[in-house]
Structure 1
Amino acid sequence: MTTTAVELLEVVWGRTSTAPTSASQLRVLHILEHHDGVNLRTLTELLASTPPSTSRLCDRLQAAGFVEREASPQDRREVRLRLSSRGRAFLADLRTRRERELRRVLADMPAAERTALLEGLESFCAAAAAQIHGETPDSGSRTA
């Protein structure tokens, strides 16, 4: 069931173009959104990539106006990466378009099943957040 759900979600989200970014570039944007000012080395680790590949991804995102690079105040040799206002606007627009597609699917579901899905997703989010933050499900907040 989980495989089917993931595949269907990919199809629904596939209706919304991520152009002009690739899947790898989109992943970088999401990471930068949550790790503002990360350095290239840390971004490389988060991507489980190589420094040259990560640098090229960031070069293309900077050229598109989605990412800004700045020297670290502590060490001018270290470069910090941030989402630009254009990058933030792109992610906000993408989320809006994806949400619209999901709402179309949800509108075709009976109300009771939408409620059950919401309860299940809340539990899923709590468990996933607990794993990500190294907590037990009961020690963290139930909201995500």
Structure 2
Amino acid sequence: MAQPETSAGEADDVDAVARAVLTASRVLMAVSARSLAEVEERVTLPQFRMLVVMSGRGAIKLVALAESLRVTPSTAMRMADRVIAAGLAERQPNPDDRRETLLTLTEEGRRTVESVTARRRAEIRAIVQRLRPTQRLALVEALDAFNEAGGEPPASGGAHLPPPGWST
């Protein structure tokens, strides 16, 4: 796809936005790392991503899990072996095809995802609460546009309102 031509001012603006997004991504990575602190001896950030995918998808074949994570099946298998050894997931036969194995979260795995996600949400919420209401609305709109440009649906469902529970 051809890139649109930009003027020097537009290029500077794009560079400023790129820098701001990179800075925000570092903040979010730090939040992610802190949210995993209680379980870091048992699960890494990539393994947690695997648990989140499994949480959202339910019982899943290894190949589909690898595709969702954008890793090779052998990498997904090693990650799965580690979360299984930690008691966070288990293998079970596919009821539709006994030759296949499905991966599912254990109850402990489900609690881990919920706990880490709750800590992450609370810390992000605390950061967002420090913004003025107009900044919050602008952030939702900007992030929705960013997500759409990256091929993801808007987190707000297209409504440019803060998510439920956020004070304005």
Report what 1:55 is aligned to.
77
CA deviations 1:54-86 (Å, max 9, x no partner) are: 222112211222112110112212001112221
Say whether 1:27 aligns with 2:46: no
Larger Rg: 2
Work out the CA distance in 1 between the residues paired with 2:74 and 2:142: 41
* Offset, 1:114: 2.4
Q: Deviation at 1:124?
A: 4.7
TM-score of the superposed pair, with normalisation by structure 1: 0.76
**RMSD (CA atoms):** 2.7
Instruction: Point out where structure 2 has 5 or more consecutive residues left out of the alignment.
Output: 1-19, 164-168
Q: Cα offset for 1:53?
A: 2.6
Q: In the alignment, which residue of structure 2 is the partner of 1:110?
A: 132
Give CA deviations for 1:71-109 in whole Å, capped at 9, x if unaligned. 011221200111222111111111111122112222322
1:142 aligns with 2:158: yes
Offset at residue 24 of structure 1 (A): 1.9
1:94 counterpart letter in structure 2:
V
SS of 1:2's equivalent in the other structure is: helix
For the 8 Å contact 1:25–1:61, the answer to whether it is kept is yes
Deviation at 1:123, TM superposition (A): 4.8
- CA distance in structure 2 between the aligned counterparts of 1:28 and 1:128, rounded to whole angstroms: 24
Displaced runs of 4 or more, over 6 A: none
Aligned partners of 1:122, 1:132: CA distance in 2, in Å?
9
The 5 A counterparts of 1:92-131 are 92-124=114-146, 127=148, 131=151
Q: Which sits farther off after the overlay, 8-17 or 89-98? A: 8-17
Percent identical: 32
Contact 1:29 1:87 in 2 (8 A): yes
One of 2, 5, 27 as aligned partner of 1:8: 27
Secondary structure, in 3 states, of the residue corresponding to 1:15?
A: helix
Question: Per the alignment, in what secondary structure is the counterpart of residue 116 of structure 2?
Answer: helix
* 1:13–1:101 CA contact under 8 A, matched in 2: no
Task: Note if contact 2:33-2:45 (Cα within 8 Å) is conserved in structure 1.
Answer: no
Preserved contact between residue 67 and residue 87 of structure 1 (Cα < 8 Å): yes
How many residues in Structure 1 have an aligned counterpart in Structure 2? 136
Does the CA-based 8 Å contact 2:59-2:104 persist in structure 1? yes
How has the CA–CA distance of structure 1 residues 85 and 8 changed in structure 2, closer, same or farther, with 3 Å as cutoff? same
Gaps of 5+ in 1: none
Distance 1:104 1:142 in 2: 23
How far apart, in 1, do the equivalents of 2:100 and 2:60 lie? 10
- What is the aligned partner in structure 2 of residue 44 from structure 1? 66
